[in-house]
Structure 1
Amino acid sequence: MNDVLVLDRAATAAALDPRRLMAAVSDALVAVARDAVSAPPRIAAFAPGGLLGAMPGYVPGLGLAAKLVSVFADPARPGRSTHRGIVALFDPEDGRPLAVMDAEPVTAWRTAAAATHSAWTLARPGPVVVIGTGAQARAQVSLLAALHPAEPVTVAGRDPEAARVLAALHPLGRATDGIETAVREAATVYCCTGATRPVLRRAWLAPGTHVSSVGGSHGPELDDDTIRNAALFTEWHGAATTPPPSGAHELQRLPGDRDVVLLGSVLCREAPGRTSPDQLTVFKSTGHAALDVAAAHVVHRTATGRRADELPR
Structure 2
Amino acid sequence: MSQVLVLDKEQTRAGLDPARVLDAVAAALVALSRGEVSAPPRIAAHAPAGLLGAMPAYVPGLGLAAKLVSVFATPGAPGRSSHRGLVALFDHADGSPLALLDAEPITAVRTAASATLSMRALAPAAGRIAVIGTGVQATAQVALLAALHPAVPVTVAGRDADRSRALADTHPQATVDSIEQAVRGADVVFCCTGAREPVFPRAWLARDAHVSSVGGSHGHELDPAVIADGALFAEWPGAAGSPPPAGAYELQGVDPQRVTLLGAVLDGRHPGRDDRGGLTVFKSTGHGALDVAAASVVVAWARAQGAGTAVAM
Q: One fold, TM greater than 0.5? A: yes
Provide the C-alpha distance between the structure 2 equivalents of 1:277 and 1:129, rounded to a whole number of angstroms: 23
**Please, which runs of 5 or more residues in structure 2 have no aligned partner?**
306-313
1:94 aligns with 94
CA offset digits 1:24-57 (Å, max 9, x no partner): 0000000000000000122334556654321110
Provide the C-alpha distance between the structure 1 equivalents of 2:256 and 2:64, rounded to a whole number of angstroms: 35
2:310 aligns with none
Moved more, 75-84 or 281-290: 75-84
Which structure 2 residues correspond to residues 1-313 of structure 1 after superposition, within 5 A?
3-46=3-46, 50-77=50-77, 81-123=81-123, 124-176=125-177, 178-254=178-254, 256=255, 258-276=257-275, 278-305=277-304
The Cα shift of 1:74 comes to 4.0
Q: One-letter code of the match for 1:220?
A: H
The Cα shift of 1:243 comes to 1.2
Q: One-letter code of the match for 1:156?
A: A
**Please, which runs of 5 or more residues in structure 1 have no aligned partner?**
307-313
Question: In the alignment, is the contact (CA less than 8 A) between 1:33 and 1:262 conserved in 2?
Answer: yes
Q: One-letter code of the match for 1:90?
A: F
2:311 aligns with none
Provide the C-alpha distance between the structure 1 equivalents of 2:174 and 2:227, rounded to a whole number of angstroms: 28
- TM-score, normalised to structure 2, is 0.92
Q: One-letter code of the match for 2:166?
A: V
CA offset digits 1:237-285 (Å, max 9, x no partner): 111111112111111132x475110000011111120013631100000
Provide the C-alpha distance between the structure 2 equivalents of 1:125 and 1:72, rounded to a whole number of angstroms: 34
Change (3 A) 1:48 1:221: closer
Moved more, 27-36 or 165-174: 165-174
Question: In the alignment, is the contact (CA less than 8 A) between 1:209 and 1:278 conserved in 2?
Answer: no
Q: One-letter code of the match for 2:290?
A: L
CA offset digits 1:66-94 (Å, max 9, x no partner): 00113345444467544221001111122
Question: In the alignment, is the contact (CA less than 8 A) between 1:190 and 1:213 conserved in 2?
Answer: yes
Change (3 A) 1:47 1:196: closer
Q: One-letter code of the match for 1:162?
A: R
Moved more, 47-56 or 265-274: 47-56
CA offset digits 1:114-169 (Å, max 9, x no partner): 00000000014220110000000000000111112222211011111101111111
Provide the C-alpha distance between the structure 1 equivalents of 2:42 and 2:13, rounded to a whole number of angstroms: 25
Q: Secondary structure at the match of 2:304?
A: coil
Change (3 A) 1:154 1:87: same
Q: One-letter code of the match for 1:39?
A: A
Identical residues among aligned pairs (%): 64
Q: One-letter code of the match for 2:165?
A: R
* Structure 1 vs Structure 2 CA RMSD: 1.8
Provide the C-alpha distance between the structure 1 equivalents of 2:195 and 2:99, rounded to a whole number of angstroms: 33
Moved more, 127-136 or 164-173: 164-173
Change (3 A) 1:7 1:224: same
Aligned pairs, number: 304
